[in-house]
Structure formats: structure tokens, C-alpha cells
Structure 1
């Protein structure tokens, strides 16, 4: 089953908090580093992720470029497979 990468900008994170707390995600920082984990909390200035080793990472929203997660529903827009 195919997956789609969903990209969320720092401005959209607060409104999508409910969706993001259910999924493993990658936080991509402005300097290119990536932190993988689950969203623990978010406020106006930072988000907190817990990685697979149970370490918490506090990331300032000003340092965040985007959050990326997999949409495992397998929904592909019709325009992508119009020839099938």
C-alpha cells in the first residue's frame, strides 16, 4: 500500500495538533537536521517530541522548518492514476 508524505508548516501545527499526536513524525529543522518521534506537547514557542529511546526533544518553533508524516490511508488523488 502506498503512502503519502504530508508536510505541515510551523504555522499549521497548532491547528493539526490532534492529528499529529497520533502519528510518528519527522521534525525538519531550518539547519537541515531531522528529529524523529511522537509529538508530546506544543505551545506558542516550542514543541516537544519523544524519540524511540524515550528521550524528549524540545524544539523551538522558530528553528522548525516543517513537520513531515506518512499518511497511511493510501488515498491517492484521482489525477495521479488517471491512466489506470
Structure 2
């Protein structure tokens, strides 16, 4: 009988991780943040509330925007794009 050992195989992707495709609408997230910031203020809106209202996981939010400030900047860009498209 031949004794075969099972070996685990790891796939190394040369330092890059393979991310799942984005499964949310970025404009919906920025619109939701815009409404929260307008009603509660930027500083008084916790990230946990942004996560709750958008349905995103914290890791997805930080991956997409980098930080709460990054989300604010994306929201402002989205808002100015909306204004520009109306004129």
C-alpha cells in the first residue's frame, strides 16, 4: 500500500489580493451620507450610523472611501456633479 500524505496548496497572488466585485451603488452610499451629514452634522454622525443606513460592512466602507473624511469628499464631489448636470 502506498501511504499518501495530503498537502495543502496555497495560492499566492504576488502580494495582491483578489477583491470581490463591488456590489453596491456608490451614488446611493454618498446620497445616504449626504442626508445624514445635513441632518446630524458631519462631526456628530458616527461611522456606525453610516454603516447602518447604507447596509455596508465597515471594511467595505473603508475600502471604498478610505475614511469618514474620504466619504465626505466623495459626497461633495457627487453633489457638485449633480448640480453641474442640472445647469
Higher helix share: 2
TM bucket, shorter chain: under 0.3
**TM-score normalised by structure 1 residue count:** 0.28
When the two structures are superposed, what TM-score results if normalisation uses the length of structure 2? 0.27
Structure having greater relative contact order (Cα 8 Å, sep ≥ 6): 1
User: Could you say which structure has the larger radius of gyration?
Assistant: 2
**Larger % of strand: which?**
1
